[in-house]
Amino acid sequence: GAGVSQSPSNKVTEKGKDVELRCDPISGHTALYWYRQRLGQGLEFLIYFQGNSAPDKSGLPSDRFSAERTGESVSTLTIQRTQQEDSAVYLCASSPYTYGGETQYFGPGTRLLVL
Amino acid sequence: SQKIEQNSEALNIQEGKTATLTCNYTNYSPAYLQWYRQDPGRGPVFLLLIRENEKEKRKERLKVTFDTTLKQSLFHITASQPADSATYLCARRSGTYKYIFGTGTRLKVLA
């Protein structure tokens, strides 16, 4: 079946602009995660969705970052007034479990470059 | 705070040898640890999960151990092949939903 998809695959933007990153999880997966991966670094947790609610937003680095999920499927990560330090790969993962979601299935990521 | 530490230096080994990667964690032992493989420009792919009460787990040429005394997991690839070259990530759950990943160890298998 289809895996996790993300769009766009690459995004170049100017500092101060807003960007929207999209994630389409595997159908039926109730758990959804967003991560950020800077060059040469590990994955940095941003936010977790259980269904349409986000019980853990602790990883969002600032109030410029927000995310939503609708219909227990598609999720959008929005970064407002982008800064150069926001340049990174943004990865989305989904899991069939709600609590203790074990295996995460990752998308290919969106490579964001802020000039 | 909880941390996952992996050797950030690349590991180069000869084809056919066994590669051993280390994952050390801090604070209390998690209920389980996960290992993922990441190829350049791709998202991580799940490989193995080992639970706290499991000392060892195997899957084909892969073997993972979990030592709660040392707070360490070892990941072994036997009879390594150039196709095994990738970055390997260790992860643990932190709190109810959040996961912490290590920075990964880059493995290069030389033909």
Beta-sheet strands, E only, within chain B: 4-6, 11-14, 19-25, 32-38, 45-51, 56-59, 62-67, 72-77, 86-94, 98-101, 105-110
Among the residue ranges A23-27, A94-98, B34-38, B91-95, the one predicted with the least confidence is A94-98
Domain ranges of chain A: 5-114
Local confidence band at A112 (pLDDT 50, 70, 90 cut-offs): very high
CATH class of A5-114: mainly beta
Contact with chain A for residue B30, Cβ under 8 A:
no
DSSP B30: P
Nearest CA to B94 out of B36, B35, B29, B46 is that of: B29
Nearest alpha carbon to residue B100 among A99, A9, A35: A35
User: Which residue, among A45, A50, A48, A9, has the nearest Cα to A29 in the 3D structure?
Assistant: A50
CB contact under 8 A, A100 and B31: yes
* In the predicted structure, residue A107 carries a pLDDT above the cut 90: yes
Q: Hey, what are A21's tokens?
A: 């990153």
- Using a CB-CB cut-off of 8 Å, the residues of chain A touching B93 are 100
**Signed CA dihedral, A37, A41, A43, A47: sign only:** negative
Q: Which of A4, A42, A100 sits opposite B101 (nearest CB)?
A: A42
Question: According to the model, what pLDDT value does residue A54 have?
Answer: 86
Give tens-digit pLDDT for A48-87: 998 888 888 889 999 999 999 987 799 999 999 999 999 9
Mean pLDDT to the nearest integer, A26-32: 91
Residue B1 scores a pLDDT above 80: no
Q: Mutating which of B9, B36, B37, B99 best tests the A interface, going by the most A Cβ atoms within 10 A?
A: B99
Task: Report whether pLDDT(A99) > 60.
Answer: no
For residue A44, name the pLDDT band (cuts at 50, 70, 90): very high
Q: Which tens digit of pLDDT belongs to each residue from B65-102? A: 999 999 999 999 999 999 999 999 999 988 878 889 99
A78 touches A20 (CB < 8 A):
yes
Check residue B28 and give its pLDDT: 83
What pLDDT score does B29 carry?
82
What pLDDT is stored for residue A98 in this prediction? Answer: 56
Residue A1 has pLDDT above 60, yes or no: no
Q: Which domains does chain B have, with CATH numbers?
A: 4-110 (2.60.40.10)
The nearest alpha carbon in chain B to A54 belongs to B97
The residue with greater pLDDT, A88 or B8, is: A88
Chain B contact set for A96 (CB, 8 A): none
pLDDT over 60 (residue A92): yes
From chain A residues 47-66, the ones with a CB under 8 A of any chain B CB are: 48, 50, 55-56, 58-59
Structure confidence at residue B35 (pLDDT): 96
- A34 pLDDT band, cuts 50/70/90, is very high
pLDDT the model gives residue A74: 96
